[in-house]
Structure 1
Amino acid sequence: MAVQSPPKAPKNEGNLVDRRPTRIAFSQKLGRWDVKVSPYLYISPFFILFAITGLFPLIYTGYISVHQWHTLGGQGDFVGLQNFQDVLDQSSFWKALRNTFSIFLISSVPQIIAAITIAAILNANLRAKTFWRMGVLLPYIVAPIAVGLIFGQIFADQYGLANGFLNIFGIEPIRWHAEVLPSHVAIATMVNFRWTGYNTLIFLAAMQAIPSDLYEAAIIDGAGRFRQFFSITIPQLRATIIFVVITSTIGGLQIFDEARAFDAQGTGGADKQWLTLTMYIHELGWGNQLNFGRAAAVAWLLFLIIVAIGILNFFITSKIATSGGSKPKKFKKVGKR
């Protein structure tokens, strides 16, 4: 009787070996968690600080704005939108809104143009580049109150340096502290003095990131410096210009130090000629009225205005940026006939 051999084990197709699932070590799990969680931990300090110093005050200010809130007496009754209605009925609010937009436009537009121009000059081959680049930042580190006191004397109504310079050309003295537009020009000059150098360094950093091949090709095609500036430099700076415009809008609508230090009283003029919205908030909360509710209402109105203007600036600048394209213009080759 033949002895049957034991059944053979089935061969694994493709020489595959059956493997039982192995348990992942704790160190491997920890490494995976580190890869997934660590990026959020690195950026979390910003969001934590923003929630404490930015988001919470914003929400709490909105809570105060719908209550009758005295600076010394504290919280009162719930009044809804009454504080907003009371603020909108006051002429001082509309004067402050007019002054804020006027100073913002007079300061921001020339400031951006001057910053781009100075950055283009500093980007050229100059001697002592570091000295000149650091020099444009010096006005930024000067205390705002010092700038206000100095320029307040420069733009004095009778004996100021500005009127003395105009007198050379036979122009009568300008009442910088009494008239609306001259006071706005004086305050805008202070703002430009402090912030032009800061924006200049931003534009300078962006200009240095532009590939040099573009300029070399433009030189070969016969383009001059002005043509290179408007056809290469400006198109390549579109993203930076959008950033500077938005930040200038946010800062320009919150002008406080320069306007408050423009005279000794710091009240925005006898007829509120240069009273800004931030100064008006300070007057409502810590001035004669001592009404935190109305001050919070103005703060929220200013916040909504800044958001609306910022969104409008973003869409306008983005449309301008995308309409021209990101590629530099081609130049017609200039050659001898």
Structure 2
Amino acid sequence: MATVPALDKPPVVLADPPTVRPRNGWRKYWHLYAAISPFYLLFIAFGLIPVGFSLYLSFHRWDGLGSMEWAGLSQYQYLVSDSDFWSSIGNTIIIWALATFPMIFLAMVTAVMLNAAVRFKNVYRFAYFLPNVTSVVAIAIVFGSVFSTNFGLVNALLQAVGLDQVAWLNTPWGIKVAIATLMTWQWVGYNAIIFLAGLQTIPSELYEAARMDGAGPLQTFFRITLPLLRPTLLFVLVVSTVTGLQSFTEAQVLLQNTSNDSTFSGGPDHAGRTMVLYFFQQTFDNNDFGYGAAVAWGIFLVVVIFSIINWRLVQRRDED
């Protein structure tokens, strides 16, 4: 029987896939861009443009009314040699240190206690968060009465234990302690809530294993809680640095009636004149908007440097 030879089939040629072209590009999603545009428009109008104008203004002399006069780098050169500016930096750093480290300690202790509490957790959280949402001006007025020399609660307590009165708002260190105490009271609750959120991310199995191994509360805290809270601690430290170095309202309200020199003088011997207070004094008391802008950029540089230092310190400990 004869076999029929198989015929070779021609190869199948696949056609190139059709090219997908975007339809109208961004016009297809214009309604989405329009939905998010208010934020960017407001940021440009009230954030980016003022920042750019302040940088431009720092190279000019201007009293706010007349024409601007080009000053070049002369205002930054004067800023570097301005003893009042360096004094305000020293005051700010001291107040920041007196407020931040006790605040972080108290906030962490409070967070640990809140995390261990079983009943009324939400009530405690509200109570500790309340000082942060209260008006700073109102808080400062209350603390002005608390630290009053003749009728203040603090001096009443000192007299009750047999100690002499302290003129808190009329001595350099008393002014710094009063401002730092106000800032500590204001931010302890807020940072306690942040620490509490960090504590609740730590697995409970780690604590159970530590208890089975015979670890006590202090060993558990330093070997488990504190190492795992380092990211939260870094966040709290950086935010506290940024807010603490820009303190203004606390000193301005507490000390506005303690000196006849200026509303922004910072009290006797300028002991409470922070960097931002000095910026307001140069800008609005002296009507020197150009130099005030240079001071503002100097403040920005100081805040950035201290934030980087704090971040590097915490990160280095984490790497070790």
Q: Report the TM-score range of the alignment, normalised by the length of the smaller protein.
A: 0.7 to 0.9
Deviation at 1:243, TM superposition (A): 1.1
Deviation at 1:308, TM superposition (A): 1.1
Corresponding residue for residue 285 of structure 1: 283
Deviation at 1:192, TM superposition (A): 0.9
Unaligned residue ranges in structure 1 (runs of 5+): 324-337
Q: Which amino acid aligns with 1:61?
A: S
CA contact (8 A) 1:210 1:236 kept: yes
CA contact (8 A) 2:256 2:267 kept: no
Deviation at 1:61, TM superposition (A): 1.2
Structure-2 separation of matches of 1:320 and 1:53: 39
> Which of the residues 270, 282, 291 maps onto 1:272?
270
Secondary structure, in 3 states, of the residue corresponding to 1:261? helix
> Which of the residues 202, 209, 216 maps onto 2:208?
216
Q: Deviation per CA, 1:170-212: give whole Å up to 9, x if none.
A: 1111111111111111001111111111111111001001111
Alignment of 1:322 onto 2:314: no
CA contact (8 A) 1:254 1:278 kept: yes
Corresponding residue for residue 311 of structure 1: 308
> Which of the residues 107, 118, 138 maps onto 1:126?
118
- Residues 48 and 232 of structure 1: CA distance in aligned 2, closer, same or farther (over 3 Å): farther
RMSD, matched Cα = 2.9
Unaligned residue ranges in structure 2 (runs of 5+): 258-262
Q: Normalising to structure 2: TM-score of the pair?
A: 0.87
Structure-2 separation of matches of 1:223 and 1:275: 48
Corresponding residue for residue 142 of structure 1: 134
Secondary structure, in 3 states, of the residue corresponding to 1:137? helix
Secondary structure, in 3 states, of the residue corresponding to 1:275? coil
Equivalent residue pairs, number: 308
Map 1:201-212 to 2 at 5 A. 201-212=193-204
Corresponding residue for residue 63 of structure 2: 70
Secondary structure, in 3 states, of the residue corresponding to 1:172? coil
Deviation at 1:163, TM superposition (A): 0.6
Structure-2 separation of matches of 1:38 and 1:113: 49
Structure-2 separation of matches of 1:248 and 1:53: 24
Corresponding residue for residue 10 of structure 1: 9
Corresponding residue for residue 19 of structure 1: 14
Structure-2 separation of matches of 1:87 and 1:316: 29
- Residues 45 and 233 of structure 1: CA distance in aligned 2, closer, same or farther (over 3 Å): farther
CA contact (8 A) 1:157 1:175 kept: yes
CA contact (8 A) 1:72 1:290 kept: no
> Which of the residues 61, 69, 91 maps onto 2:54?
61
